[in-house]
A and B are shown apart, each in its own frame.
Chain A
Amino acid sequence: MTVPAPSSTITDPTVRAAFQEWLVRIADDELAIGHRHSEWTGVGPDIESDVAMSSIAQEELGHARLFYEQLSGEESGGADRLAFGRRPEEFRNAVLLEQPNQGWEFSIVRLVLYEAYETLRLGLLAQCGQEPVAGLAATLGREERYHGLFGATWLERLARPPADARARVQAALDAAWPYALGFFETTDADGVLLRAGLLPDPAERQLDAWEAAVRPLLERCALAPPAGRPCLGGRRGIHTPALTEMHAAMTEVWASDPEARW
Chain B
Amino acid sequence: MEHRGVTPRPADVPWVRTLEAPDGVWAVFLQARRRDAHVYVGDVHAPDAEMALVLAKENYARRDPCVSLWVVPARAIRATAGDAAEMFEPATDKSYRFGGSYRQQQRVYRGGYHAAPTEDDR
Binding site for B on A (CB under 8 A): 46-49, 51-52, 55-56, 146, 149-150, 153-154, 157
Partner of A150, one of B46, B47, B58: B58
Q: Is the CB of B59 within 8 A of A48?
A: yes
B118 to chain A: closest CB distance in Å? 21
Shortest CB-to-CB span from B48 to chain A, Å, is: 8
Judged by a CB distance under 8 angstroms, whether B30 is at the interface is no
Q: Tell me the minimal C-beta distance from B70 to chain A in angstroms.
A: 16
Cβ-defined partner of B51 (8 Å) among A55, A56, A146, A153: A153
Q: How far is the CB of B11 from chain A (nearest CB, A)?
A: 43
Pick the residue among A46, A47, A52 that contacts B54 (CB under 8 A): A52
| Contacts of B74-98 to chain A: CB distance below 8 A | none
* Chain B contacts with A in 31-61, Cβ cutoff 8 A: 44-48, 50-51, 54-55, 57-59
Measured in the bound complex, the distance between the Cα atoms of B15 and A58 in whole Å is: 47
Task: Judge whether B55 and A55 touch: CB under 8 Å.
Answer: no
- A49-B55, A51-B59 as given contacts; A157 in contact with B47, CB under 8 Å: yes
Instruction: Return B12 CB to nearest CB of chain A, in Å.
Output: 41
Query: A46-B45, A48-B44 known; A153 and B62 CB under 8 Å?
Result: no
Contact at B54–A149, with CB atoms within 8 Å?
A: yes
Interface residues, chain B, CB within 8 Å of chain A?
A: 44-48, 50-51, 54-55, 57-59, 62
Which residues of chain A are within 8 angstroms of B54 by Cβ–Cβ distance? 52, 149-150, 153
- Is B57 a contact of A48 with CB atoms below 8 Å? no
User: Nearest Cβ in chain A — how far from B85, in angstroms?
Assistant: 31
Please tell me which one of the listed residues A47, A49, A146, A154 contacts residue B57 in the complex, with CB atoms under 8 A apart.
A146
Cα–Cα, bound, A49→B47 (Å)? 12
A146-B57, A150-B54, A153-B54 known; A55+B47 contact, CB < 8 A: no
Complex A-B: 23 CB contacts under 8 Å: A46-B45, A47-B45, A48-B44, A48-B45, A48-B46, A48-B59, A49-B55, A52-B54, A52-B55, A52-B58, A52-B59, A55-B62, A56-B58, A146-B57, A146-B58, A150-B54, A150-B58, A153-B50, A153-B51, A153-B54, A154-B51, A157-B47, A157-B51
Complex contacts, B47 vs chain A, CB 8 Å: 157
Residues of chain B with a CB closer than 8 A to A153's CB: 50-51, 54
